[in-house]
Structure 1
Amino acid sequence: MKTSQKPATSKLLIRYDNELKALLMQDLKAFKEKGQFISNNQPAAQQAA
C-alpha cells in the first residue's frame, strides 16, 4: 500500500511559508496601527506634507 505522505522538504517549505506569512501579516498590522499607512487614494500633495 502506498502512503501519501509528503517528503520532509515539502513539509518544511509549507511550514516556512506559513510562518513567514504570519510574520508579514503581524508586521503589516503593526505598521497600519502606527498610522504610517498612506492610502493610494490621497492626493500627492497630502502625502508630501
Structure 2
Amino acid sequence: MKTLQQKPATSKLLIRYDNELKDLLLADLKAFRERGQFTSNNQSAAKAA
C-alpha cells in the first residue's frame, strides 16, 4: 500500500493563496491604521456622543 507523503497540488495552491491573501490584508490594515482614519473616526464619534 502506497502512502502519500507529499500534499496534493491543490492543497499546496490553497495554502499559498491563503498566505498571500493574509499578507495582503495585513499590509492593507497596517496602511489603514497608519493613515489614522480608524482612530480619528472613533474619536470624532466619541466627541459627538
Report TM bin, short chain. 0.7 to 0.9
Which structure features the higher share of helix residues? Answer: 2
Percent identity, aligned pairs only, is: 71
TM-score (norm 1): 0.73
Gaps of 5+ in 1: none
More RCO (CA 8 Å, sep 6+): 1
Gaps of 5+ in 2: none
Poorly superposed stretches of 4+, deviation over 3 Å: none
Q: Number of matched residues?
A: 45
Instruction: Kindly report the root-mean-square deviation, in angstroms, between the aligned alpha carbons of the 2 structures.
Output: 2.4
TM-score (norm 2): 0.73
